[in-house]
A and B are shown apart, each in its own frame.
Chain A
Amino acid sequence: MISDILFNGLLSIKGNGEIVPDLAKGWERSKDGKRITIHLKEGVKFHDGSLLDANDVDFTLLKKSKDLLGIIEKMKVIENLTISFDLKENPNYFIFNLGTSILPRHVYENPGKNREEIFRHPVGTGPFKVKYLSESEAVLEANREYFKGRPFLDGVVIKSYKSLDEVWSRLLLEEIDNCLPLSPGQVDFMKNNVNFKIYPYLSPYYFLLVYNQLNPLFKNKEIRIALNYALNRNLIIQKVLSNYGRLCSGPIYPESWAYNSEIEPYPYDPGLALKILGKIGWGMENGILKKNGQPFRFSVLVPEGDNLIGNIMLMIEKNLSEIGIGINIYPVPPMDLDEKYLFPKKFDAALLNFDSGINPGILNYRIWHSSQIKTGLNVFSYKNQEVDKDLELGLQALDRKDEKKYYDKFQREIFDDPPGVFLFWKEEMVPIHKRFRGINIGPEKFFASIPEWWVPKNEQKYKNGPQ
């Protein structure tokens, strides 16, 4: 999180998925796409004053990033500021990883005795550098030598508190200028507060009710489609999110270049759902949907203690009960959710919150590609050949037009063979003190926008350093 303003990657990814060069000046790809040559910007300094060069890139990518080892065949430092990569495959995916924070080799290669010190004083190229770090507080000051020009603000202090109540009190007392995004109830409360402005942005995380495809109940695509008609998603957005949300029809972020805006979402039509189910043998008996005497019942895992998800489930449960489907809701501790249930595939269905990754490439591959069932993130055992093909081709596409073609198709396929019910995208409301200007918050990491913030002179509060 904080690393977003302490470090830079070779490139950065904007909110709509576009890639912009960051530390890199530019790059070239060979015709077959397997060799990428990156040129670094000149004169970029680390916080300790030393200059960035290709050795730092080499060090960071090779030593620190396990993921890339599989893809990189060879990495060569050509000159002080040029480095080339020969890749085994998947050049698209590789590019996106070049957003990783670049570390200075001379600091991190052999930390030795200074490990503690380095931990407390990370050294990067970013717009802010660390004044000091502690358990509860991070005090940052502006990097006046930042290669893109120093940030307007002189410093940032990040504090962590023990309870949400404390966070709220301090926010209302104007002791802190910003905190985590607000829940819908909080938005109502803060709307009327004249000291704060609320900045909305569409969170790139989507909510999804997803089924374990191995469960016989969900084998048939028709059932999964019927369930899409059974849920009144708009009502959920209205009641649970107080309308701070948008309907979701697939795993690609609506503001991304890859979004397929031509897909019409499933309407709320429980009658149609029953008809579809009826066609495959499910009928209502005394208000319970049954087939061959077996009631349609399944359990849904939810992360414990999440009020929002609890309320969503209430409404889903109501909708399902109206068509005779019963569910058991199992709240489990979030930590156990992955380890004990999802990865071991011990579940019927789950209500989860996924990162769409802004860029369509690697995440979707890892979640929905059949190759990822055994060891990847495809814990749902979702398998669709068309989807697989689209994802593969998309990752390898060399030009944007081709990429879009494949991802559009991917979205259509996954829509027609839904792994569950894509519910909605949440609109995040971030409260920031009214004296700040130049705020442009988007789904890219929150902190990345801070360098652009400024405060008119007469409204500046902390003039003499962070407090």
Chain B
Amino acid sequence: MNRVLTLASFNVSQIVAERAGLFLSWALFALQFGIFGSLMSHLVQSSKVQDYFFFYGVGLMVITVFDTGSFVGRRFVERAHEGELPYYLSLPISRRGFLESQAIYGVVATLLRAGPPLIGVLAFTGRLNLLGAFFALISLTTLGLGISGIMISFSFIAFKSIDIYNAIIAGLSALLVRFSTVFYPLSFIPSFYSPIAVFSPLTYGSDLTRWVLGFDPNLLLNPILAAVVVTAIALGTLSLSAGIVDKIIEGVKAA
């Protein structure tokens, strides 16, 4: 096995070692979807949104992917502070290869965290089909990569101050989730903040995922635009991360 895959699989084995957390995240998802999703879908009665329960389920998956992407990015920063990053940077692998291994780790982490909930939501709402699930996973993992890339790109702040990094990431996360179409179609969002929602990557990720799962396209963004934006964010932020790893991050300060 080449070194990129060896490193990625070592990182993934850490998630598997922490399987209690994985099971807990699935259980929380099931609870959130089963209880709050059900309640919300009874409250939301609209002739325009035929199946809000399903709409909500996809939104919840996007939140899960966002959390996973954030986790992968934050893990990168934690590794620097806990001392793992210098070890990784001392291994015989190029900086680009190192980042590729982290991207693979991010993809697998997303699949592990969001895959079972996706299957569960599709099965529960009677929409389970292999092709839809496959493309939804691609959409979600691409979004996850973009989120990880954003978090890693901000990691240079963490090398100055972890507190400022945490504050910025918390604020950014709140904005990205709230100002997006995760739980409401864009056409329902009030005009004073719908222009802001257009800047959230989650808007494109959630609308693209809904589109591949067969949701009413009239309530969604243009799927080609959404696919282009999600892919561009993933590629752009990962390239930026590569530059940061190569040029800025030098492990921890030593004396």
A, B in one complex: no
- Taking Cβ atoms with an 8 Å cutoff, the residues of A that contact B are none
